[in-house]
């Protein structure tokens, strides 16, 4: 399968400050690729370069093997976090306006149905709720039936129902064969939607791969959290990884049953015990640390 978007040795500086530091990646057709990272990691800068909106200081971006040119703009869709539109436009007017920018476009009725805008098609766009606004921005980004869709933190500020709804929409769009590049601060969102992710920190990629591979490379299969402080000795020679925080012990292990069998002390209290699989939030914190980014 040929690569859709290829990024080589990309660096971007704002003055002396290096915001993106020599990253390379390949986006395959039909995949959903997630760009994750703490505040200030360089995600938006990278995204703007990939969208063709910002010229990198160094490096190249190739779309279908060619440098980004005018045809690229016809083939991509960008869902911005907000868009400035005249107040007097209804949802339908906004779609009509965006359709007029392209020689051919997806039928507006289809987008209204797909993005569940029927009931609000006549509403002024500035009166929409957060979830409705995101659905309109998504519909606008799909107006030219793009092959490649950029979603920049598309569910920030949405309530859980609206977020679940939005995820379903993204899955449907993906099923149509579109390629998606997504940034998000919600690890569950990345786990739900992304085939592959990259975690960025201080302008560099510190991990890249499928969520499943990254989790199995970085964690044992189960995480057991116990009330109280324990040490390796309490579990004999069982291969585990232990960490302690605020009166609790977190144990990574191959199997909960094995862990309990190996336990040398009286059985730990079930109160406050949890058993779960590692997730992307664990991975994110493991790789980027707990320090607040300012």
Residues that bind ligand ATP (CB under 6 A): 14, 17, 19, 37, 39-45
Q: Which two tokens stand for residue 136?
A: 């309109």
How far apart are alpha carbons 11 and 19 in whole angstroms?
8
| CB 67, min distance to ligand ATP, A | 22
Min dist. Cβ of residue 200 to ligand ATP (A): 7
What is the closest distance, in whole angstroms, from the C-beta atom of residue 140 to ligand ATP in the complex? 21
**Torsion, Cα of 111, 115, 116, 119 (10° steps):** -60
Looking at the Cβ atoms of 44 and 147, the one nearer to ligand ATP is 44
What minimum distance in Å lies between the beta carbon of 187 and ligand ATP? 13
Beta carbon nearer to ligand ATP, 146 or 203: 203
The Cα 248–Cα 264 span in angstroms is 17
Residues 13 and 251: their CA atoms lie apart, in Å, by 41
The tokens describing 192, both together, are: 């739900």
Nearer to ligand ATP, 50 or 169 (CB): 50
As measured in angstroms, the least distance from the Cβ of 95 to ligand ATP is 28
Please, what is the minimum distance in Å from the beta carbon of residue 24 to ligand ATP?
17
What's the CA gap between 123 and 32, in Å, rounded? 32
Q: Of the two residues 25 and 142, which places its CB atom closer to ligand ATP in the complex?
A: 25
Minimum gap (Å) between residue 158 Cβ and ligand ATP = 17
* Cross-strand bridge partners of residue 66: 63
Strand-pair partners of 35: 183, 198
How far are the Cα atoms of 34, 60, 170, 273 from residue 190, in angstroms, in the given order?
A: 6, 26, 12, 27
Nearer to ligand ATP, 201 or 252 (CB): 201
**106 or 184, CB closer to ligand ATP?**
184
Closest CB to ligand ATP among residues 14, 126: 14
Which parts of 107-179 fold into alpha helices (H)? Answer: 108-114, 130-141, 160-175
User: Over the Cα atoms of the chain, what is R_g?
Assistant: 23
Residue of 292, 138, 279, 265 lying closest to 214 (CA atoms): 279
């Amino acid at each position: 399968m040929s690569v859709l978007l290829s990024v080589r040795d990309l660096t971007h500086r704002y003055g002396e400050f290096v915001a993106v530091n020599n990253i390379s990646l390949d986006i395959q057709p039909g995949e959903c690729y997630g760009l994750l990272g703490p505040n200030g990691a360089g995600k938006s800068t990278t995204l703007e370069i990939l969208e063709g909106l910002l010229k990198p200081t160094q490096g190249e971006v190739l779309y279908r093997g060619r440098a980004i040119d005018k045809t690229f703009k016809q083939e991509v869709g960008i869902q911005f976090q907000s868009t400035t539109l005249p107040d007097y436009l209804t949802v339908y007017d906004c779609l009509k306006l965006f359709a007029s920018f392209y020689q051919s476009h997806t039928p507006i009725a289809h987008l209204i149905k797909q993005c569940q805008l029927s009931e609000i098609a006549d509403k002024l766009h500035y009166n929409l709720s957060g979830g409705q606004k995101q659905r309109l921005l998504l519909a606008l980004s799909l107006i030219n039936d793009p092959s490649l869709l950029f979603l920049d933190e598309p569910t920030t500020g949405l309530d859980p129902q609206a977020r679940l709804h939005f995820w379903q929409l993204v899955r449907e769009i993906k099923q149509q064969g579109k390629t998606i590049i997504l940034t998000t601060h919600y690890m569950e969102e990345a786990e739900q939607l992304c085939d592959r992710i990259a975690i960025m920190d201080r302008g560099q990629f510190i991990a890249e791969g499928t969520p499943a591979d990254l989790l199995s490379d970085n964690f044992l299969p189960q995480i057991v959290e116990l009330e109280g402080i324990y040490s390796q000795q309490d579990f004999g020679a069982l291969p585990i990884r232990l960490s302690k925080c605020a009166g609790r012990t977190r144990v990574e292990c191959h199997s909960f049953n094995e862990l309990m069998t190996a336990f040398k002390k009286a059985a730990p209290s079930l109160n406050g015990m949890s058993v779960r699989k590692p997730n992307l939030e664990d991975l994110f914190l493991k790789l980027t640390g707990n320090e607040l980014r300012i």
